[in-house]
Amino acid sequence: MKRKVVMLIVVIFAFCINISHSQTWVKVDCGGQFSAALRSDSTIWSWGFNGNGQLGIGSTSQVIYPVQIGNNHYWRDIAVGASHCLAIKSDSTLWTWGFNGNGQLGDSTNTQRTSPVQIGTDNDWIKIAGGGYHSLAIKTDGTLWAWGFNGGGSLGDGTTVDKNYPVQIGTDNDWIKISGGGYHSLAIKTNGTLWAWGFNANGQMGDSSTINSLIPKQISNHTNWGDISAGFQFSIGLKSDSTIWSWGFNGNGQLGDGSTAEDSIPKQIGTDNNWVKIAAGSGYAFAIKSDSTLYGWGINAYGCLGTGTTTSQYNSPQQIGYDNDWSSISVAKGFISGSSVYGFHSLGLKTQKDNICATGWNIAGQLGDSTTTNQNQFQCVIGQIATNIDTNISSNTEILIYPNPTNSSFNIKLPQTARYVKILNSMGQVVEERMVYNQTELKFDLSETEIYFVQIATDKEIITKKVIVCKN
């Protein structure tokens, strides 16, 4: 028996060392005060504010580190709004959760959901985008759909009436890209033309006016638009020649054109033609160049640009650090509270993609670093799976797992600061998870011979320990 246990430890532990590098993050997206991410094993994880169930974990409890949404391993894509989330499964079905006061979940109700709910029965969804309080999607046949808040015509269905179910926008079937802003929307067709609709008081549509449009309206006559990103009251576009363009509100320098004057038509940012990624948020923006360097501009509230300061504001692109391994960037969705706009955290992935990089506002744990401390530089330590096993950190001495090894059942003695316990198998998959409510001891029963990893989250840290289960 002893030989069997030793061999199991060697084989599975070696596999776990490798798995921390083979399972990677493939997409991150920022809500108003929460975040979500998709892993290469097709699992979805979320963290941050959860008062409306936007984390999708079955409760409204705030979590300050990544937690898996359910146990499903067949998610294909995610997108978030200010306080809701959308996802597509591998079978092309559409699922949503979170705040639903404007019908942005699309389930024909206005009831918030704390766990994913399927939207209709269609299985032909291919692309999704979350606006502040509305949602957009494209089907495999190229048709465009929208639902949720419709003030100013943000849905594009010719009305200003909110919809709590997906409605087709027009009859065209050549839509290829979509992006939802605070109250306006952008889209690109297969022929490279740019279209916009919704609220337009600051020229964020880009049609040289400040008049709202209730239906999609073509912007300029150019046919080389490759990507778009709708921020809060402004927009950014990327052309096929790798130039970037901006339009709309510019009070914080978010257009990046060297001024703070708003513009109602697309204007090129600088003269560089080596941009490959763009992201617009609530008063600031980022872009990545072909050499994988990161640039940011606009307001720098709470350090959301990651420049190492919190006071500076930039009206033209500034390189963020010196790293040249950025692969993607996401910016918080803007939301209004009182008379102010909020949403100031940023997430990024590097080419290694083992960790998530985060900076900015962290009042609700939206950075996912197990704290609620703001950061003014990108910290790339978020989201490690099955790593730092048995590290010598503060609460370790208060945690006791017994018996260990075990033939099935074991107990965990917890510190008073424990908030969450998660059991992962050697593949990094969650097999059981529990919230801790003033409990100092938990009992688990696992049926398979395996080395498991127990993650205990406290107020300040995540501690990982091994449990050996060896059936007779």
Q: What are the sequence ranges of the domains in the chain?
A: 2-6+387-469, 24-382
Distance CA 145, CA 126 (A): 11
Q: Would you give the DSSP letter of residue 332?
A: P
pLDDT attached to residue 396: 59
| Neighbour-count burial for 136-173, b at 16+ CB within 10 Å, e otherwise | bbbbeeebbbbbbbbbbbbbbbeeeebbbebbebeeee
Q: What is the pLDDT of residue 259?
A: 97
- The pLDDT assigned to 204 comes to 98
pLDDT recorded at residue 461: 65
Contact, 282 vs 289, CB < 8 A?
A: no
Residue of 425, 420, 422, 433 whose CA lies nearest to 452: 425
pLDDT at 10: 38
CA 402 remoteness from chain centre: 37
Q: Could you report the per-residue pLDDT of 34-52, keeping only the tens digit for each?
A: 999 999 889 999 999 999 9
Query: What is the pLDDT at residue 5?
Result: 39
Three-state DSSP string of 20-72: HHHCCEEEEEECCCEEEEEECCCCEEEEECCCCCCCCCCCCCCEEEEEECCCC
Percent above pLDDT 90 for the chain: 71
pTM for the predicted model, two decimal places: 0.79
SS3 9: helix
What is the distance of C-alpha 22 from the center of its chain? Answer: 21
pLDDT value, residue 393: 39
- CB 440: neighbour CB atoms within 10 A? 12
Rounded to 5°, angle at Cα 181 from 180 and 187: 45
pLDDT of residue 459: 61
pLDDT of residue 472: 60
Which CATH number is associated with domain 2-6+387-469? 2.60.40.10
Alpha helices in 123-252 (DSSP H): none
What local confidence, expressed as pLDDT, does residue 187 receive?
A: 98
pLDDT digits (tens, 9 = 90+) for 263-275: 999 999 999 999 9
CA angle 192, 193, 197 (to 5 degrees): 140
In the DSSP assignment, the letter for residue 395 is G
pLDDT at 17: 36
* Triad 416, 417, 422: Cα angle to 5°: 105
Q: Which residues of the chain have pLDDT under 50?
A: 1-22, 385-394
Q: In this structure, what token pair is assigned to residue 148?
A: 């949720």
Across the chain, mean pLDDT equals 89
| pLDDT at residue 253, rounded to an integer | 97
Q: What are phi and psi for residue 151, nearest 5 degrees?
A: -65, 135
- State residue 148 phi and psi, 5-degree precision: 110, -150
- Give Cβ neighbours of residue 288 (< 8 Å, ≥ 6 apart): 275, 276, 277, 294, 295, 326, 327, 328, 329
What is the reported pLDDT for 8?
A: 39
Side chain identity, residue 178: I
Q: What is the pLDDT of residue 388?
A: 34
Q: What is the CATH number of domain 24-382?
A: 2.130.10.30
